[in-house]
Amino acid sequence: MSAAPYAGRIAALAATLEQQLLVLEPTNVRYLSGLRSTNPALLVQPSGDATLFSDFRYADAGRRAAAAAGSSFTVVERSLLKDITGRISGRVGFEAGFVTYAAWQELCAGGAELVPTQGVVEQLRAVKDEAEIDVIRRACAITTQAYETIATEGLIGRTEREVAARIEALFHAYGADGAAFPSIVAAHENGARPHADTRDVAIGPGTLVTIDCGAKLEGYCADCTRTFSTGDLPADLQRAYAVCLAAQLAGLEAIRPGVSGDTAHQAAAAVIAEAGWGDAFGHGLGHGVGLDIHEAPTLRPASQDVLVAANVVSCEPGIYLDGLGGVRIEDLVVVREGGAEVLTGYTKELVTVH
């Protein structure tokens, strides 16, 4: 990611502010300034002036980030909040979804008037620029490479945990920073659990194997789920795969600017409900993906988030049959004026892997 976007991001944030905003969530600080720190803060004024803070460990990186973002940098004590309390005054917005009660008490000690805010930076992060989309596209390409390799190497006789570890090793081998989240590999009855714990259990024949994984590249996440067959399947699992694929395609068709998260979800859910498995799809259709694996906007029941161009979201319906197995098919897509641009390239046809 080039240095150029950061000054523009701070300016875009400043244009939305009624009072100064103290950004403490590390991913939000990274998005706005480029600084990767476990102990950062960024104070942004409505005028566009900004001050970046971190402790001695990040002093060099902080100065470079501040120079690139057109802001200033101040070295603070390791006890960042205690130090910053004496540096802020007047009305100061804070991230209510991140700041703990204890942190709020500490910030209040200096006498500033703290004003809770919700999702101010996250709303900006939800709309990606083309440089961000390009990084995510490359992370998705690495994820596709990993799927191709796993399918070639086979599944039967390997444990779920062995396959998950192999996927994460492949991410490194193909140039990623690592995994965006712990990879899920779920076979047999474990596939009926949407967020299954990956087990030391060997994968056998005649079942579905759900693999949910994603590479991380330059801080940005990929997210892709594919479900494989390991041979002749019970009739219900064959049908579940076909219905899930039809639902996923309906979800993709619904994803476009102006559509609410609820409406996109219902487009896929209706296909599954019509097949008689409405109760077997209990999670949302998708979520935003970027620097975090789960971010705005959400695609789920009752979500009033409205999709706009350059959102990056997952589309991942699933069908989970207790005691038998399950299927989930997930693509990561960019919302475009003409519909969804799919970034995840591995085939969605049912692939048999022995």
Average pLDDT, the chain: 97
Percent of the chain topping pLDDT 90: 99
pLDDT for the residue numbered 81: 95
Residue-wise pLDDT for 138-183, tens only, equals 999 999 999 999 999 999 999 999 999 999 999 999 999 999 999 9
Does pLDDT of 128 surpass 90?
yes
Are 297 and 309 in contact by the 8 Å Cβ rule? The answer is no
- Assigned token pair, 273: 């409900």
pLDDT for the residue numbered 28: 98
Does pLDDT of 3 surpass 50?
no
Query: d(Cα 32, Cα 14) in Å, to the nearest integer?
Result: 11
Does pLDDT of 4 surpass 80?
no
- Assigned token pair, 241: 């795969």
Residue-wise pLDDT for 307-326, tens only, equals 999 999 999 999 999 999 99
Domains annotated on the chain, with CATH: 5-125 (3.40.350.10), 130-342 (3.90.230.10)
Element of type H or E holding 79: none
Closest to 221 (Cα-Cα) out of 166, 186, 183, 185: 183
pLDDT for the residue numbered 12: 97
Are 184 and 201 in contact by the 8 Å Cβ rule? The answer is no
Give me the DSSP letters along 294-316. SEEEEESTT---B--TT-EEEE-
Coil, helix or strand at residue 202: strand
Residues 6+ apart with CB under 8 A from 71: 7, 10, 33, 42, 49, 50, 51, 52
Please tell me whether the overall predicted TM-score, pTM, comes out greater than 0.85 for this model: yes
Are 122 and 50 in contact by the 8 Å Cβ rule? The answer is no
Q: According to the 3-state scheme, what is the secondary structure of 97-154?
A: CCCCHHHHHHHHCCCCEEEEECCHHHHHHCCCCHHHHHHHHHHHHHHHHHHHHHHHHC
Closest to 122 (Cα-Cα) out of 201, 39, 247, 29: 29
Sequence-ordered alpha helix ranges (H) in the chain: 5-14, 26-33, 59-69, 80-85, 101-108, 120-125, 130-153, 160-173, 235-254, 261-274
> Which whole number is the average pLDDT over 237-242?
98
For β-strands 220-221 and 215-217, DSSP reports them as antiparallel
Residues 6+ apart with CB under 8 A from 209: 155, 185, 186, 187, 191, 203, 227, 228, 229, 230, 353
Query: d(Cα 175, Cα 270) in Å, to the nearest integer?
Result: 39
Closest to 120 (Cα-Cα) out of 258, 22, 41: 22
Confidence of residue 284 (pLDDT cuts 50, 70, 90): very high
Does pLDDT of 203 surpass 90?
yes
Does pLDDT of 279 surpass 80?
yes
Sheet holding 184-187, edge to edge: 184-187, 208-213, 224-229
